[in-house]
Copies of this chain bind each other. A is one copy, B any other.
Protein backbone atom coordinates (compact mmCIF):
# COMPACT_ATOMS: atom_id res chain seq x y z
CA UNK A 1 0.00 0.00 0.00
CA UNK A 2 1.53 3.35 -0.97
CA UNK A 3 1.10 6.51 1.12
CA UNK A 4 -1.62 7.94 -1.08
CA UNK A 5 -3.71 4.76 -0.91
CA UNK A 6 -3.16 4.56 2.82
CA UNK A 7 -4.32 8.13 3.30
CA UNK A 8 -7.35 7.45 1.16
CA UNK A 9 -8.22 4.29 3.12
CA UNK A 10 -7.74 6.07 6.40
CA UNK A 11 -10.01 8.89 5.25
CA UNK A 12 -12.61 6.39 4.09
CA UNK A 13 -12.48 4.60 7.45
CA UNK A 14 -12.90 7.93 9.23
CA UNK A 15 -15.89 8.87 7.12
CA UNK A 16 -17.33 5.42 7.75
CA UNK A 17 -16.98 5.78 11.49
CA UNK A 18 -18.49 9.25 11.40
CA UNK A 19 -21.44 8.07 9.36
CA UNK A 20 -22.02 5.18 11.72
CA UNK A 21 -21.48 2.85 8.79
CA UNK A 22 -19.66 -0.43 9.11
CA UNK A 23 -16.96 0.30 6.56
CA UNK A 24 -14.05 -0.54 8.79
CA UNK A 25 -10.78 -1.66 7.25
CA UNK A 26 -9.95 -3.66 10.36
CA UNK A 27 -13.10 -5.76 10.20
CA UNK A 28 -13.86 -6.00 6.51
CA UNK A 29 -17.03 -8.05 6.93
CA UNK A 30 -18.71 -5.67 9.36
CA UNK A 31 -20.80 -4.29 6.52
CA UNK A 32 -22.19 -7.73 5.83
CA UNK A 33 -22.89 -9.38 9.17
CA UNK A 34 -25.92 -7.20 10.06
CA UNK A 35 -27.66 -8.74 7.04
CA UNK A 36 -27.52 -12.22 8.58
CA UNK A 37 -30.75 -11.85 10.47
CA UNK A 38 -32.89 -10.09 7.90
CA UNK A 39 -34.65 -11.10 4.68
CA UNK A 40 -32.58 -10.12 1.65
CA UNK A 41 -33.52 -8.36 -1.54
CA UNK A 42 -30.83 -9.27 -4.04
CA UNK A 43 -30.56 -7.51 -7.40
CA UNK A 44 -28.48 -8.70 -10.36
CA UNK A 45 -27.89 -6.42 -13.32
CA UNK A 46 -27.95 -7.93 -16.80
CA UNK A 47 -27.03 -6.18 -20.06
CA UNK A 48 -26.29 -6.96 -23.72
CA UNK A 49 -22.95 -8.70 -24.46
CA UNK A 50 -22.33 -9.47 -20.81
CA UNK A 51 -20.83 -12.83 -19.94
CA UNK A 52 -23.83 -14.88 -18.85
CA UNK A 53 -21.96 -17.06 -16.37
CA UNK A 54 -20.84 -14.00 -14.39
CA UNK A 55 -24.56 -13.84 -13.62
CA UNK A 56 -25.80 -17.43 -13.74
CA UNK A 57 -22.93 -18.86 -11.66
CA UNK A 58 -23.69 -16.64 -8.67
CA UNK A 59 -27.44 -17.01 -9.36
CA UNK A 60 -27.11 -20.75 -8.62
CA UNK A 61 -25.77 -19.85 -5.18
CA UNK A 62 -27.71 -16.70 -4.27
CA UNK A 63 -31.07 -18.11 -5.40
CA UNK A 64 -30.60 -20.81 -2.74
CA UNK A 65 -30.18 -18.39 0.16
CA UNK A 66 -32.96 -18.77 2.72
CA UNK A 67 -35.27 -15.77 3.24
CA UNK A 68 -34.16 -14.03 0.10
CA UNK A 69 -35.74 -12.65 -3.06
CA UNK A 70 -33.74 -12.34 -6.23
CA UNK A 71 -34.46 -9.67 -8.86
CA UNK A 72 -32.91 -9.75 -12.33
CA UNK A 73 -32.76 -6.17 -13.56
CA UNK A 74 -32.04 -4.48 -16.87
CA UNK A 75 -32.53 -1.16 -18.60
CA UNK A 76 -35.63 -2.36 -20.43
CA UNK A 77 -38.02 -5.24 -20.09
CA UNK A 78 -37.42 -7.87 -22.75
CA UNK A 79 -34.53 -10.17 -23.50
CA UNK A 80 -30.88 -9.34 -24.10
CA UNK A 81 -28.22 -11.66 -25.50
CA UNK A 82 -24.94 -12.38 -23.76
CA UNK A 83 -21.76 -12.09 -25.87
CA UNK A 84 -22.04 -15.73 -26.88
CA UNK A 85 -25.72 -15.47 -27.80
CA UNK A 86 -27.51 -16.76 -24.72
CA UNK A 87 -30.91 -15.14 -24.26
CA UNK A 88 -31.33 -13.56 -20.82
CA UNK A 89 -34.52 -11.91 -19.60
CA UNK A 90 -34.92 -9.54 -16.66
CA UNK A 91 -37.72 -9.62 -14.10
CA UNK A 92 -37.72 -5.87 -13.63
CA UNK A 93 -36.16 -2.64 -14.87
CA UNK A 94 -33.70 -0.21 -13.31
CA UNK A 95 -36.56 2.27 -12.94
CA UNK A 96 -38.84 -0.22 -11.15
CA UNK A 97 -36.22 -1.95 -9.04
CA UNK A 98 -36.74 -2.13 -5.28
CA UNK A 99 -33.90 -1.13 -2.90
CA UNK A 100 -31.36 -3.96 -2.70
CA UNK A 101 -29.49 -5.40 0.23
CA UNK A 102 -27.07 -6.95 -2.24
CA UNK A 103 -26.45 -5.66 -5.77
CA UNK A 104 -24.51 -7.92 -8.12
CA UNK A 105 -22.68 -6.39 -11.08
CA UNK A 106 -21.46 -8.94 -13.63
CA UNK A 107 -19.01 -8.25 -16.44
CA UNK A 108 -18.15 -9.36 -19.94
CA UNK A 109 -17.39 -7.39 -23.13
CA UNK A 110 -20.70 -5.49 -22.94
CA UNK A 111 -19.54 -3.68 -19.82
CA UNK A 112 -17.66 -1.26 -22.10
CA UNK A 113 -20.92 0.16 -23.46
CA UNK A 114 -22.11 1.05 -19.93
CA UNK A 115 -19.04 2.93 -18.70
CA UNK A 116 -20.82 6.27 -19.17
CA UNK A 117 -24.35 5.00 -18.57
CA UNK A 118 -25.67 7.27 -15.84
CA UNK A 119 -28.60 5.01 -14.89
CA UNK A 120 -26.24 2.11 -14.20
CA UNK A 121 -23.49 4.20 -12.59
CA UNK A 122 -25.91 5.96 -10.30
CA UNK A 123 -27.49 2.64 -9.27
CA UNK A 124 -24.02 1.46 -8.19
CA UNK A 125 -23.18 4.79 -6.55
CA UNK A 126 -26.41 4.91 -4.52
CA UNK A 127 -25.98 1.30 -3.44
CA UNK A 128 -22.49 2.14 -2.21
CA UNK A 129 -23.58 5.32 -0.44
CA UNK A 130 -26.24 3.37 1.45
CA UNK A 131 -23.52 1.05 2.77
CA UNK A 132 -25.33 -1.98 1.43
CA UNK A 133 -23.47 -4.78 -0.37
CA UNK A 134 -22.03 -4.54 -3.86
CA UNK A 135 -20.83 -7.80 -5.39
CA UNK A 136 -18.84 -7.34 -8.58
CA UNK A 137 -17.93 -10.31 -10.75
CA UNK A 138 -15.25 -10.26 -13.44
CA UNK A 139 -15.16 -6.92 -15.31
CA UNK A 140 -18.24 -5.79 -13.44
CA UNK A 141 -15.49 -4.23 -11.29
CA UNK A 142 -14.77 -1.80 -14.14
CA UNK A 143 -18.35 -0.56 -13.94
CA UNK A 144 -17.88 -0.07 -10.20
CA UNK A 145 -14.71 1.82 -11.07
CA UNK A 146 -16.54 4.05 -13.53
CA UNK A 147 -19.08 4.77 -10.78
CA UNK A 148 -16.18 6.03 -8.69
CA UNK A 149 -16.65 3.59 -5.83
CA UNK A 150 -13.29 1.80 -6.10
CA UNK A 151 -11.17 4.76 -4.98
CA UNK A 152 -8.91 3.72 -2.14
CA UNK A 153 -10.35 0.24 -2.03
CA UNK A 154 -9.02 -3.24 -2.58
CA UNK A 155 -10.62 -5.11 -5.46
CA UNK A 156 -10.09 -7.77 -8.10
CA UNK A 157 -11.36 -8.52 -11.62
CA UNK A 158 -10.65 -10.74 -14.63
CA UNK A 159 -6.89 -11.32 -15.10
CA UNK A 160 -6.92 -9.62 -18.52
CA UNK A 161 -8.30 -6.42 -16.96
CA UNK A 162 -6.51 -6.64 -13.63
CA UNK A 163 -4.03 -3.79 -14.27
CA UNK A 164 -6.84 -1.45 -15.21
CA UNK A 165 -8.16 -1.32 -11.64
CA UNK A 166 -5.51 1.28 -10.75
CA UNK A 167 -7.05 3.80 -13.18
CA UNK A 168 -10.07 3.84 -10.88
CA UNK A 169 -7.94 4.51 -7.81
CA UNK A 170 -8.27 0.93 -6.57
CA UNK A 171 -5.59 -1.32 -5.15
CA UNK A 172 -5.65 -4.48 -7.30
CA UNK A 173 -5.51 -7.60 -5.11
CA UNK A 174 -4.52 -10.83 -6.82
CA UNK A 175 -7.05 -13.03 -5.03
CA UNK A 176 -10.00 -15.02 -6.29
CA UNK A 177 -12.36 -13.08 -4.00
CA UNK A 178 -11.68 -9.77 -2.22
CA UNK A 179 -13.85 -8.35 0.57
CA UNK A 180 -13.42 -4.65 1.38
CA UNK A 181 -16.17 -3.26 3.55
CA UNK A 182 -19.44 -3.51 1.66
CA UNK A 183 -17.63 -4.36 -1.59
CA UNK A 184 -17.12 -8.00 -2.52
CA UNK A 185 -15.27 -8.49 -5.80
CA UNK A 186 -14.59 -11.76 -7.59
CA UNK A 187 -11.96 -12.37 -10.28
CA UNK A 188 -12.84 -13.53 -13.81
CA UNK A 189 -16.02 -15.27 -14.92
CA UNK A 190 -16.24 -18.53 -12.91
CA UNK A 191 -14.76 -16.79 -9.83
CA UNK A 192 -18.30 -15.53 -9.31
CA UNK A 193 -19.25 -18.94 -7.90
CA UNK A 194 -16.49 -18.75 -5.29
CA UNK A 195 -17.45 -15.14 -4.57
CA UNK A 196 -21.13 -15.98 -4.15
CA UNK A 197 -20.36 -18.81 -1.73
CA UNK A 198 -18.12 -16.48 0.28
CA UNK A 199 -20.90 -13.89 0.25
CA UNK A 200 -23.43 -16.53 1.33
CA UNK A 201 -21.28 -17.34 4.34
CA UNK A 202 -21.02 -13.63 5.23
CA UNK A 203 -24.68 -12.61 4.84
CA UNK A 204 -26.06 -15.89 6.18
CA UNK A 205 -23.66 -18.40 7.76
CA UNK A 206 -20.92 -20.90 7.04
CA UNK A 207 -23.50 -23.68 7.47
CA UNK A 208 -25.80 -22.16 4.84
CA UNK A 209 -22.92 -21.70 2.40
CA UNK A 210 -21.76 -25.29 2.92
CA UNK A 211 -25.28 -26.63 2.36
CA UNK A 212 -25.51 -24.70 -0.91
CA UNK A 213 -22.06 -25.91 -1.94
CA UNK A 214 -23.11 -29.52 -1.33
CA UNK A 215 -26.45 -29.00 -3.09
CA UNK A 216 -24.69 -27.75 -6.24
CA UNK A 217 -21.97 -30.40 -5.80
CA UNK A 218 -19.28 -27.76 -6.04
CA UNK A 219 -16.19 -29.92 -5.63
CA UNK A 220 -14.52 -28.78 -8.83
CA UNK A 221 -11.97 -30.89 -10.69
CA UNK A 222 -10.69 -28.79 -13.58
CA UNK A 223 -9.19 -31.17 -16.14
CA UNK A 224 -6.12 -28.93 -16.59
CA UNK A 225 -4.16 -26.42 -14.52
CA UNK A 226 -4.85 -23.63 -16.98
CA UNK A 227 -7.34 -21.43 -15.17
CA UNK A 228 -5.03 -18.52 -14.47
CA UNK A 229 -2.14 -16.99 -16.38
CA UNK A 230 0.41 -17.86 -13.69
CA UNK A 231 -0.13 -21.60 -14.17
CA UNK A 232 -1.39 -21.99 -17.73
CA UNK A 233 1.10 -23.09 -20.41
CA UNK A 234 2.90 -20.16 -22.03
CA UNK A 235 1.37 -20.65 -25.50
CA UNK A 236 -2.12 -20.83 -23.98
CA UNK A 237 -1.57 -17.49 -22.20
CA UNK A 238 -0.22 -15.95 -25.41
CA UNK A 239 -3.15 -17.16 -27.51
CA UNK A 240 -5.82 -15.92 -25.10
CA UNK A 241 -4.05 -12.62 -24.32
CA UNK A 242 -3.73 -11.92 -28.04
CA UNK A 243 -7.44 -12.45 -28.54
CA UNK A 244 -8.18 -10.15 -25.59
CA UNK A 245 -5.86 -7.36 -26.78
CA UNK A 246 -8.36 -5.25 -28.78
CA UNK A 247 -10.87 -5.39 -25.91
CA UNK A 248 -8.20 -4.68 -23.31
CA UNK A 249 -6.91 -1.71 -25.36
CA UNK A 250 -10.43 -0.28 -25.61
CA UNK A 251 -10.99 -0.81 -21.91
CA UNK A 252 -7.70 0.94 -21.11
CA UNK A 253 -8.68 4.03 -23.14
CA UNK A 254 -12.02 4.14 -21.35
CA UNK A 255 -10.36 3.64 -17.96
CA UNK A 256 -7.98 6.53 -18.69
CA UNK A 257 -10.97 8.76 -19.44
CA UNK A 258 -12.60 7.69 -16.18
CA UNK A 259 -9.35 8.36 -14.31
CA UNK A 260 -9.30 11.92 -15.67
CA UNK A 261 -12.95 12.44 -14.72
CA UNK A 262 -12.42 11.08 -11.19
CA UNK A 263 -9.17 12.98 -10.74
CA UNK A 264 -7.16 9.79 -10.17
CA UNK A 265 -3.48 10.71 -10.64
CA UNK A 266 -1.91 9.48 -13.88
CA UNK A 267 -0.23 6.10 -13.62
CA UNK A 268 3.52 5.87 -14.22
Most buried by B among A159, A220, A223: A223
Per-residue interface assignment for chain A, residues 231 to 258, with 1 indicating a CB less than 8 Å from any chain B CB and 0 otherwise: 1110111011001000000000000000
A56-B86, A57-B53, A91-B87 in contact; A197/B222 too (CB < 8 A)? Answer: yes
B189 near A215 with CB under 8 A, answer: yes
CA distance A53 to B192 in the complex (A): 13
Nearest CB in chain B to that of A69: its residue: B85
CA distance A70 to B91 in the complex (A): 25
A207 near B194 with CB under 8 A, answer: no
B193 near A190 with CB under 8 A, answer: yes
B214 near A220 with CB under 8 A, answer: no
A190-B218, A193-B220 in contact; A70/B85 too (CB < 8 A)? Answer: yes
Across the interface, which residues of B come within 8 angstroms of A60, CB to CB? 51-53, 84, 189-190
Across the interface, which residues of B come within 8 angstroms of A225, CB to CB? 219
Across the interface, which residues of B come within 8 angstroms of A226, CB to CB? 209-211, 213-214, 218
CA distance A235 to B211 in the complex (A): 9
One complex includes copies of this chain to the number of 2
Per-residue interface assignment for chain A, residues 174 to 190, with 1 indicating a CB less than 8 Å from any chain B CB and 0 otherwise: 00110000000001111
The 10 A-B residue pairs with the shortest CB-CB distance in the complex, in nearest-first order = A219-B227, A188-B217, A63-B84, A210-B226, A56-B56, A87-B89, A220-B220, A53-B60, A189-B216, A218-B227
Q: Mark A residues whose CB is within 8 Å of B.
A: 51-53, 56-57, 59-60, 63-64, 70, 72, 79, 84-89, 91, 138, 158-159, 176-177, 187-191, 193-194, 197-198, 201, 206-207, 209-211, 213-229, 231-233, 235-237, 239-240, 243
